[in-house]
Amino acid sequence: MFEAIQSFDNAFLHGIQNIFVDPLTSLFAIITLLGHPGVWVVIATLLYWNNREKNAFFLVNVLVFASVITGVLKVLIARPRPDPSIFKVATDPIGLEKLQQGINYSFPSGHTTTVTTLVSYYATKYKKSILLGMGIIAVILVALSRMVLGLHFLSDVMVAIIIGLIIGKVVWKAQESLQQHHFRLTKLEAEAGFVILLIVALVLMFFLENLALISILLGFYAGFFLATEFTLKQRTLHFRLKVIKSVVGLLVLGLILAPALSLANGTIAFGLLFLTGFWVSFLYPWLFEKAVSHPTSQ
């Protein structure tokens, strides 16, 4: 049966790549970024800096669940990616795949799982909105892009869509249940939660070898729980200050992230990646609040 699936996958991938050729390939190289966790981390960052910490926190949680489940399945199934000697396989032009180093298997598609999980997660909230239609189109385009770029087979993206639909609904139901019970982290629970997350992350680092992304997430969670501990409140800003805050924060974020990506691995690289997440959730909001409040204290 597996041989029949592989034969069909090969034939389908050849057909897709014969239909979609340059310059469409370059377009799909951009579209595929909609499924990259790094892009959604940036979106979560902007939400976090604009007084939507809870939304950002749950968005990051969704990304974690999607990344962990696909990572575990990739390791367990260990299906090779399409052969570059047979198919046209795209390279990583901007270096974002370094955030997912250590796992280079094909099944299931991580990008497709990520974007489907997010669409599934928000589908209940936006079920009568044009945003849902745009989300469905995004899922189809990302799934197609993974094949056009020669990075996945049809069965990889189809199963990824199913997995993403399930993860998104499960996380949404869990969040809904917590909110109905008026769940709120106390400081003690936040500290205990961080310790548990740290232990889980260390286990995952050993199992999945996805050190870069996990380093960023550890930094984010550390900052988030520290902000909870110190009751860090971000004030509501007018539009101009929001733009300034976002632009300055992202510029510094890029300055921290760039050398980490160039180093690829090692203690310094992972320290910088941890600082990236910590900058998002605690260090920058704290510094910005200090800077904004300082003139009023004169």
Per-residue pLDDT tens digits for 106-159? 889 889 999 999 999 888 777 777 888 888 999 999 999 999 888 899 999 999
Q: What is the mean pLDDT of the chain?
A: 80
Least confident of 78-82, 98-102, 159-163, 222-226: 98-102
Distance of CA 60 to CAs 143, 147, 169, 211, 230, Å? 21, 26, 15, 16, 21
Name which residue leads in pLDDT, 228 or 276: 276
pTM above threshold 0.95: no
Res 182: pLDDT? 53
Q: Which amino acid, 175?
A: Q
Per-residue pLDDT tens digits for 169-209: 888 887 777 666 555 555 555 555 555 655 665 566 555 55
Please state the domain extents for the chain: 10-183, 185-298
Interval 156-170 mean pLDDT? 92
Res 18: pLDDT? 87
Per-residue pLDDT tens digits for 248-298: 999 999 898 888 777 656 678 888 889 999 999 999 999 988 887 765 444
Asked, as a colleague might, if the bond just before 285 is cis with ω within 30 of 0, I would say no
Res 95: pLDDT? 52
Count of other CB atoms within 10 angstroms of residue 146 = 28
Smallest CA-to-CA distance from 30 within 98, 92, 88 is with: 92
Give 283's contacts (C-beta < 8 A, 6+ positions apart). 223, 275
Whose tokens are 């260390």? That residue is 202
Res 192: pLDDT? 58
Residue 79, SS3? Answer: coil
Name which residue leads in pLDDT, 16 or 213: 16
Cβ atoms of 276 and 261 within 8 Å: the answer is no
